[in-house]
């Protein structure tokens, strides 16, 4: 009987180690930023202020992570109200028709140390395309001072905005085609 009890306890711990954990983005410690060249001489930076994201992870293996993000296009913020209004118009994101940007991860491949390649489907307007981010795993905090477990990541990539049907200035002379995305994420484990 004692051996049977030990076996059940061991199996319970084994299942717990490989169990899937769910995490939610902590917006107070995260940011979704972009940078784009203007007139070929300078850069305009901006961010998205409203978003929701989840992460599912098996054990501690980052290659099992599944990211799922939804971003509110109307939350675009470049600190210039007139520019933000123009970015929400049909010339750019057409926020009235396409109110969200979505990202769903498909795979994560380990690089050296804490570096990974995160590939997933990015949907902007009516276009979905695969995108690969350079992902850095910042680590895990067992207790953030409030009894919460946290995970941290940074992800970067560059996309061609015209590939996502953002056709304003298609030559890229005034507003560059390439947009750099820089995402800093902190997740809190769901309870």
- 55 within some domain: yes
- 14 within some domain: no
- CB of 103 closer than 8 Å to CB of 122: yes
- 26 within some domain: yes
- CB of 85 closer than 8 Å to CB of 133: no
Tokens 């969200």 belong to 100
Q: Calculate Rg over the CA atoms of the chain.
A: 20
- 149 within some domain: yes
pLDDT at position 144 is 83
Residue 104: name the closest of 138, 57, 54, 62 by CA.
54
Could you tell me which residues come within 8 angstroms of residue 33 by beta carbon, excluding any fewer than 6 positions away?
Answer: 45, 46, 47, 181, 182, 183, 184
pLDDT at position 10 is 44
- CB of 48 closer than 8 Å to CB of 69: no
- 3 within some domain: no
- 13 within some domain: no
What does the pLDDT profile of the chain (191 residues) look like in tens digits?
Answer: 455 444 444 444 444 445 889 999 999 999 999 999 999 999 999 999 999 999 999 988 999 999 999 999 999 999 999 999 999 999 999 999 999 999 999 999 999 999 999 999 999 999 999 999 999 999 999 888 888 899 999 999 999 999 999 999 999 999 999 999 999 999 999 87
The DSSP call for residue 190 is: -
Domain count along the chain: 1
- 10 within some domain: no
- 152 within some domain: yes
pLDDT at position 186 is 95
Looking at residue 36, which CATH number applies to its domain?
2.40.128.110
pLDDT at position 15 is 42
Q: Where are the alpha helices (DSSP H) in the chain?
A: 2-18, 81-88
For residue 175, the SS3 value is strand
Structural domain including 181 reads: 21-189
CA distances from 190 to 9, 98, 110, 147 (A): 24, 29, 25, 12
């Amino acid at each position: 009987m004692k051996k049977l009890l030990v076996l059940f306890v061991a199996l319970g711990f084994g299942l717990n180690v490989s169990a899937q954990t769910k995490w939610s983005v902590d917006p107070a410690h995260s940011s979704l930023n972009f940078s784009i060249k203007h007139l070929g001489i300078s850069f305009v930076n901006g961010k998205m202020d409203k978003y929701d994201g989840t992460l599912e992870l098996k054990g501690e293996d980052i290659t099992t992570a599944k990211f799922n993000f939804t971003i509110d296009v109307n939350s675009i913020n470049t600190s210039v109200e007139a520019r933000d209004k123009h970015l929400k118009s049909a010339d750019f994101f057409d926020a009235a028709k396409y109110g969200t940007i979505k990202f769903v991860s498909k795979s994560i491949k380990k690089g050296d140390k804490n570096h990974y390649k995160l590939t997933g489907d990015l949907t902007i307007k009516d276009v979905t395309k695969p995108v690969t981010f350079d992902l850095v795993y910042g680590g895990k905090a067992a207790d953030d001072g409030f009894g919460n477990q946290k995970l941290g990541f940074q992800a970067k990539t560059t996309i061609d905005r015209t590939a996502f049907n953002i056709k304003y200035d298609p030559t890229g002379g005034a507003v560059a085609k390439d947009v750099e995305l820089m995402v800093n994420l902190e997740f809190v484990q769901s309870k």
